[in-house]
Amino acid sequence: MPTLGIIGSGHIGAAVARLAVAAGIPVVMANSRGPESLARLIAELGPLATAGTAEQAARAGGIVVTSVPLTAVPTLPTAALRGRTVLDTSNYYPRRDGRITPLDSEELTTSELVQQHLPGAHLVKAFNNIWAHHIPQLARPSGAPDRSALPIAGDDQGAKQSAAALIDRLGFDTFDAGPLAESWRFEPESTAYTRLYAADPDVPRDRLLDVPGLPVPVEGLRAALTQAQRVRVANRVY
Ligand SMILES: NC(=O)c1ccc[n+]([C@@H]2O[C@H](COP(=O)([O-])OP(=O)(O)OC[C@H]3O[C@@H](n4cnc5c(N)ncnc54)[C@H](OP(=O)(O)O)[C@@H]3O)[C@@H](O)[C@H]2O)c1
């Protein structure tokens, strides 16, 4: 499989990178502080991993994962991402990101806003609805009886197929939740968001790292997406 570019080497970016190298996929990692600051992570990931600038990570792969805070999206290398399949892990947390009017008004979903910042990129929302520590816990080989499914959404069918093939290699089934406009179904506080994959879905926020992951097969995910009611984003505190 071609090299995977990963812009953002924090909780989600690093978790995806670990699955990628385990599956034999080369990765180019980038962050905000520059390639030298990634030395420890690159050493941990092994010979399939290298560090680069965000531009280099974007150009390295046919598929690029962008996993940066929403406020950093406007700084992503737009030209280099044009024409590529981009897996966007973004979520909107007003307490962290500040209030963003087109999201509060529900005029746009978070990934539609990201798509506006990345014209020409084929955006697929993915890996946004699972806590980072559950990614390695729930990844399974294809066909495993307790394999979990992750939702994807996007406006380009070819990009969604590429994303699904990659995510399958990484250890998860996928379920197509529709276009980016429908991705509110697995955004924060929805029934298909992170607590779906928690063994104790009512765990308090300060203890969420203690809770093991719960496998969610495709049918369970489909039901959660179907039941989802649109969250009133302007009322969200976190
Ligand atoms: N954490 C979770 O469990 C989780 C789950 C689902 C979705 N998400 C969402 O995924 C996104 C990333 O979350 P995270 O928890 O992985 O964040 P994180 O741990 O804070 O990591 C963010 C990464 O983005 C990098 N970055 C920041 N600005 C950048 C820029 N301008 N150019 C290139 N890289 C930049 C940071 O670089 P430095 O290392 O140099 O600071 C860091 O490596 C967020 O939207 C979050 O809401 C998170």
Pocket, ligand 1, Cβ cutoff 6 A: 7-13, 30-33, 54, 67-70, 72, 75, 89-91, 128, 131-132
Q: How far is the CA of 68 from the centre of ligand 1 (A)?
A: 4
41 contacts 8 by C-beta, under 8 angstroms: no
To 10 degrees, the CA torsion angle through 2, 12, 92, 51?
A: -60
Q: Residue range 52-67: average pLDDT?
A: 96
Protein residue with its CA nearest to atom 35 in ligand 1: 32
Q: What is the pLDDT of residue 225?
A: 98
Assign 3-state DSSP to the chain and report helix, strand, coil percentages, each to 5. Answer: 45, 15, 40
Query: 165-178: per-residue pLDDT in tens?
Result: 999 999 999 999 99
Q: What is the pLDDT of residue 104?
A: 98
Architecture of domain 4-235: 3-Layer(aba) Sandwich (3.40)
Q: What is the pLDDT of residue 96?
A: 96
Relative to the CA of 75, which ligand 1 atom is closest? 31
Backbone phi, psi, residue 24, to 5°: 85, 15
The confidence band for 1, taking pLDDT boundaries of 50, 70 and 90, is confident
152 contacts 175 by C-beta, under 8 angstroms: yes
Relative to the CA of 131, which ligand 1 atom is closest? 3
